[in-house]
Amino acid sequence: MPLPTGVYRADHVGSLLRPEEILQARADLPPNTNDTSSLRPMEDKYISEVVRKELQNGIRSITDGEFRRAFFHLDFLQHLGGVKVKGSLASTNSSKEGFMPPKLVITDKVRHVKPIQLDDFLYLEEQIENARREGVIDANEKVTTKVAIPSPTMCHFRGSRDTISSTAYPDLDPFFADLATAYQAEIQTLYDAGCRFLQMDDTNLAYLCDPSMRQSASDRHSQTPEQITEQYADLINAAISKRPSDMVIGIHLCRGNHRSQWFASGGYEPVAQVLFQKLNVDVYFLEYDDARSGDFAPLRFLPEHKVVVLGVMSSKSAELDDKETIIKRLHEAAKHVPKGLDQLCVSHQCGFSSTMEGNELSEEQQWAKIRLEVEIAKEVWGEDLSK
C-alpha cells in the first residue's frame, strides 16, 4: 500500500539535540521570562544547519528539531488565548529526580488569537528549498516539511478542575469545544501556507495505559479512565475535523522522555480499540522500544487504511540498537496488522530532546542512530523510503 503523504519508511518524531549555544542563551535569559524572541536569529542559524544534517543523514521528513522550544508542548500552548504557563520556559529543572515541568492553567476562554507555528513552518520550508538548490538532495527528490504540535489533551490531563477557571468555564463541555475550535484555526492557517503533514504529540493516551496513572487521572478528573480516553478521542477528532482531505494527520504517543528517563509503563491494550478505530488520524508514531510498551497484540485493531511508525529503536540510550533485533521485531509486529509490513515504518520511540536538555547521548551518536534507522528501512522495504 502507498504511504500517506509525508510519511516515510525511516521516519522520526521530530526533536533533536539542541546546540550548546542555544542552551546557554536560554540559560542567560532573565529569570521567570517566557519571552524568548531574542533567541530567534541564533535559532534560525542552527535550524538552517540541522535541516541539511537531516537530509545528509537520510531523513526526508524534515523538522526544525524543535530548537525554538524548551518543552515540546508548553511553548506552543502558551500562545493560545486563555492558557497560561505557571513557571519559566527559559530554563528547566535540570535535576533528573522529581522532575516536574511548569504547569498549565486556564484563566479565560480558550481561543486562537494569532498563528503560532506559521513563521516557523515558512522558515523551515525556505531552508529545505535552499538545501535543494545547493544540491544537498536531488532536485526532484520527495521531502516533507513536518510540523509537530502538542495534542489538545495536554491542556487537560495533568491539571484538574482547579486549574480551569470556573468563571470562564462553569461547565467543561464549552472548554473542550473552544479548545477544538482554536486548533481548527491553527490547522487551517498552516494548511493555507502549504503544510500537508501535521503531527500531534500526545503523552496522555499512553499514560492512560499505566495502571497507577489511570487511577490518578480518574481521581483528578472524577471520571473513569475509559471515559477520559473516549473524551480525548472526541477532542482530537473535533480539533482535526475541518482539516482538508489532502492534509495528513499523525499522532505520537510516548511514556515520557526527559534526559533519557521515562515516566509511565503499560501496553496499549487499555486504549487500543479507541486509539486505532475511533481516532480519525492517518498515522501513529508509537513507542515500542522496550518491554514497558507491552507486546504487539493491540495492533490487531489497526484498520487497513492506517499506518504505524513503529518506535522500536531507542532515542534514550547512547548505544546503537542491534540491527538484526530491530528487523526481527518489525517482522514480528507485521504479523498483527492486516497488511503486514506494508502498514509499518520504523523510527525511534520518541525524539532525542523532548525538553531542551535532551537525552543523554552526543550529537554524533544521535546521527549514527538515524543513519542506522535509514539503513534498516532500506533493507526491509527497499531504497525508496516513500513507498
Count CB-CB contacts under 10 A for residue 279: 21
Radius of gyration (C-alpha) of the chain in whole angstroms: 20
pLDDT at 90: 56
Average pLDDT of span 73-99 = 74
CB burial class (10 A; 0-12, 13-18, 19+) of residue 304? exposed
pLDDT at 1: 78
Altogether, the residues listed in the chain come to a count of: 387
Cα distances (angstroms) measured from residue 9 to each of 13, 145, 263, 302, 326:
13, 16, 28, 18, 14
Report the DSSP beta bridge partners of residue 149: 200
Residue 15 within a domain: no
Average pLDDT of span 363-387 = 97
pLDDT digits (tens, 9 = 90+) for 14-25: 999 999 999 999
Say how far apart CA 322 and CA 12 lie, in whole Å. Answer: 18
Residue 386 within a domain: no
pLDDT digits (tens, 9 = 90+) for 154-196: 999 989 999 999 999 999 999 999 999 999 999 999 999 999 9
Q: The domain containing residue 49 runs over which residues?
A: 20-381
pLDDT digits (tens, 9 = 90+) for 328-339: 999 999 999 999
- Identify residue 314 by its one-letter amino acid code: S
Report the DSSP beta bridge partners of residue 145: 62
Average pLDDT of span 279-283 = 98
Distance linking the first and last C-alpha atoms of the chain:
8
Say how far apart CA 127 and CA 51 lie, in whole Å. Answer: 7
What band does 96 get if pLDDT is binned at 50, 70 and 90?
Answer: very low
Position 100 pLDDT exceeds 80: no
Residue 255 within a domain: yes
Give me the CATH number covering residue 229. 3.20.20.210
**What is the full DSSP assignment across 26-91?**
HHTSPTT----GGGHHHHHHHHHHHHHHHHHTT--EE--TTTT-SBTTHHHHTTSEEEEEES-SSS
Position 94 pLDDT exceeds 60: no
pLDDT at 248: 98
Cα distances (angstroms) measured from residue 89 to each of 75, 149, 198:
7, 16, 24
**Cβ(382)–Cβ(376) below 8 Å:** no
Report the DSSP beta bridge partners of residue 250: 199, 283
Average pLDDT of span 323-349 = 98
Q: Which of 177, 4, 148, 140 is nearest to 64 (CA)?
A: 148
Average pLDDT of span 279-290 = 97
Q: Indicate the average pLDDT of the chain.
A: 94
pLDDT digits (tens, 9 = 90+) for 1-41: 789 999 999 999 999 999 999 999 998 988 877 788 899 99
Residue 267 within a domain: yes
Report field, pTM of the whole predicted structure over 0.85: yes
Question: Can you read off the three cell numbers belonging to residue 39?
Answer: 533567541
Residues 6+ apart with CB under 8 A from 289: 311, 312, 313, 314, 316, 348, 349
Position 87 pLDDT exceeds 80: no
pLDDT digits (tens, 9 = 90+) for 224-238: 999 999 999 999 999
Residue 279 within a domain: yes
Residue 297 within a domain: yes
Q: Work out whether strand 147-150 and strand 344-348 pair parallel, antiparallel, or are unpaired.
A: unpaired
Q: Please state the φ and ψ torsions of residue 115, each to the nearest 5 degrees.
A: -60, 140
Q: Give residue 98's region: left, alpha or beta (phi > 0; psi -120 to 50).
A: left
**Beta-strand runs (E) in the chain:** 61-62, 81-86, 103-111, 144-145, 147-150, 197-202, 248-253, 283-287, 307-313, 344-348
Average pLDDT of span 80-105 = 70
Residues 6+ apart with CB under 8 A from 10: 58, 59, 60, 345, 346, 347, 373, 374, 376, 377, 378, 385
Which uninterrupted H or E stretch holds 327?
helix 323-334
Residue 227 within a domain: yes
Count CB-CB contacts under 10 A for residue 369: 22
Say how far apart CA 189 and CA 195 lie, in whole Å. Answer: 9
Residue 13 within a domain: no
pLDDT at 263: 87
Q: How many domains does the chain have?
A: 1
